[in-house]
Structure 1
Amino acid sequence: MTFHQDIGGTRHTFADLKTLLAKASPERSGDHLAGLAASSAEERVAARLALADLPLTTFLREAVVPYEEDEVTRLIADTHDAQAFQPVASLTVGEFRDWLLSDAADSAALKNLAPGVTPEMAAAVSKLMRNQDLIAVARKARVVSAFRTTLGLPGRLGIRVQPNHPYDDAKGIAASLLDGLLYGCGDAVIGINPASDSIPTTIRLLDMLEEFRTRYDIPVQSCILAHVTNTMEAIRRGAPVDLTFQSVAGTEAANRSFGIDLEMLAEAHAATLALKRGTVGDNCMYFETGQGSALSADAHHGVDQQTIEARAYAVARQFKPLLVNTVVGFIGPEYLYDGKQILRAGLEDHFCGKLLGLPMGVDVCYTNHAEADQDDMDTLLTLLGVAGVNFVMGVPGADDIMLNYQSTSYHDALYIRSVLGLRPAPEFEQWLHKMSILDEAGRVRPALENAGGAGALLTYAEGAHHG
Structure 2
Amino acid sequence: MAYQHTVGQKTYQFESLKVLLAKASPRRSGDELAGVAASDATERVAAQMALADCLLIDFLDDITIPYEDDEVTRLIMAQHDKQAFAKISSFTVGDLRNWLLGESATRDEIAQLKYAFTPEMVAAVSKIMRVQDLILVAKKCQVVTKFRNTIGLDGCLSTRLQPNHPTDDMLGISASIIDGLMYGNGDAVIGINPATDNLQNLSELLKLLDHVISEYQIPTQSCVLTHITSAIQLIEKKVPVDLVFQSITGSEKANTSFGIDLALLKEGYEAGLSLNRGTVGQNVMYFETGQGSALSSNAHFDVDQQTLEARAYAVAREFNPLLVNTVVGFIGPEYLFDGKQIIRAGLEDHFCGKLLGVPMGCDICYTNHADADQDDMDTLLTLLATAGINFIMGIPGSDDVMLNYQTTSFHDALYARQLLGLTPAPEFAHWLSENGVYTQTQNHIQWSDKPSSLLSGIM
Matching of residues 344-363 of structure 1 within 5 Å: 344-363=344-363
Aligned partners of 2:438 and 2:448 also within 8 Å = no
* DSSP 3-state at the match of 1:439: strand
> Shift of residue 445 of structure 1?
2.5
- Number of the residue aligned with 1:220: 220
Which residue of structure 1 lines up, in the alignment, with residue 456 of structure 2? 458
Quote the residue 1:81 is aligned against: 81
* 2:414 counterpart residue number: 414
Partner of 1:464: none
In the aligned structure 1, how far is the partner of 2:439 from the partner of 2:448?
A: 10
Q: Which residue of 2 aligns with 1:445?
A: 447
Aligned letter for 1:137? V
Deviations 1:40-77 (A, max 9, x none): 11100110111011000011112100101100000001
> Deviations along 1:218-246, whole A, 9 cap, x unmatched?
10000000000000000000001110000
Within 5 A, what are the aligned runs for 1:238-317?
238-317=238-317
- Name the residue aligned to 2:175: 175
Quote the Cα distance in structure 1 between the aligned partners of 2:424 and 2:260: 33
Match of 1:324 in 2: 324
Residues 1:196 and 2:171 are matched in the alignment = no
Give, in whole Å, the separation in 1 of the partners of 2:67 and 2:207. Answer: 43
Query: Residues 152, 440 of structure 1: CA spacing in aligned structure 2 closer, same or farther, 3 A cutoff?
Result: closer
Alignment correspondent of 2:133: 133
Cα distance in structure 2, aligned partners of 1:86 and 1:170: 55
Q: Does 1:391 align with 2:391?
A: yes
The one-letter amino acid paired with 2:150 is T
* Separation in 1, partners of 2:92, 2:394: 40
Q: Which amino acid aligns with 1:235?
A: I
Superposed CA offset, 1:372-414 (max 9, x none): 0000000000000000000000000000000000000001010
Deviations for 1:65-101, whole angstroms, at most 9, x for unmatched residues?
Answer: 0101100000001121112222211100000000000
Partner residue, 1:65: 65
TM-score (norm 1): 0.97
Are 1:183 and 1:444, in contact at CA under 8 Å, matched by a contact in 2?
no
| Separation in 2, partners of 1:460, 1:282 | 27
Give the Cα separation in 2 of the matches to 1:10 and 1:190. 55
Query: Which residue matches 1:146?
Result: 146
The SS at the match of 1:88 is coil
Residue 444 (structure 1) shift: 4.8
Counterpart-to-counterpart distance in 2, 1:149 and 1:86:
36
- Counterpart residue type for residue 110 of structure 1: I
SS in 2 for 1:90: coil
CA separation in 2, counterparts of 1:231 and 1:444? 39
Q: Deviations over 1:279-331 (max 9, x none)?
A: 11111100000000000000000000000000000000100100000000000
Confirm or deny: 8 A CA contact 2:440 2:446 kept in the other structure.
Answer: no
Which secondary structure does the structure 1 equivalent of 2:333 belong to? Answer: coil
- Partner of 1:311, secondary structure, is helix
Q: C-alpha separation between the residues in 2 aligned to 1:326 and 1:83?
A: 30
1:148–1:281: 8 Å Cα contact kept in structure 2?
yes
SS of the counterpart of 2:439? coil
CA distance in 2: counterparts of 1:15 and 1:111, whole angstroms: 33
SS at match of 1:114: coil
Tell me the distance in 2 between the aligned counterparts of 1:213 and 1:2.
57
- Given that residues 183 and 410 in structure 1 are in contact (C-alpha distance below 8 angstroms), is that contact kept between their aligned partners in structure 2? yes
Aligned partner of residue 56 in structure 2, secondary structure: coil
One-letter identity of the residue aligned with 1:80: H
Identity of matched residues, %: 61
Q: Which amino acid aligns with 1:7?
A: V
Instruction: Tell me how far apart the structure 2 counterparts of residues 399 and 369 of structure 1 sit (CA, whole Å).
Output: 14
Distance 1:57 1:286 in 2: 32
Structure 2 runs not aligned, ≥5 long = none
CA distance in 2, matches of 1:26, 1:152: 28
What residue number does 1:114 align with? Answer: 114
| Cα deviation, residue 440, structure 1 | 4.0
**Counterparts of 2:258 and 2:428, CA distance in 1:** 33
> What is the rounded CA distance, in whole Å, between the counterparts of 1:325 and 1:140 in structure 2?
19
Cα distance in 2 for partners of 1:155, 1:193 equals: 29
1 CA distance for matches of 2:348 and 2:446?
32
1:58 is paired with a residue whose SS is: helix
The answer for the alignment partner of 1:465 in structure 2 is none
The 2-side partners of 1:398 and 1:107 are apart by 34
RMSD after superposition? 0.8
CA distance in 2 between partners of 1:155 and 1:88 (Å):
30
Paired residue secondary structure (1:361):
strand
Q: Shift in Å at residue 459 of structure 1?
A: 3.0
CA distance in 1, matches of 2:430, 2:76: 40
Contact 2:16 2:62 in 1 (8 A): no
Partner of 1:56: 56
Separation (CA, whole Å) in 1 of partners of 2:391 and 2:454: 27
Kindly state the Cα deviation for residue 458 of structure 1 after the two structures are TM-superposed. 2.1
Q: State the number of aligned residues.
A: 457
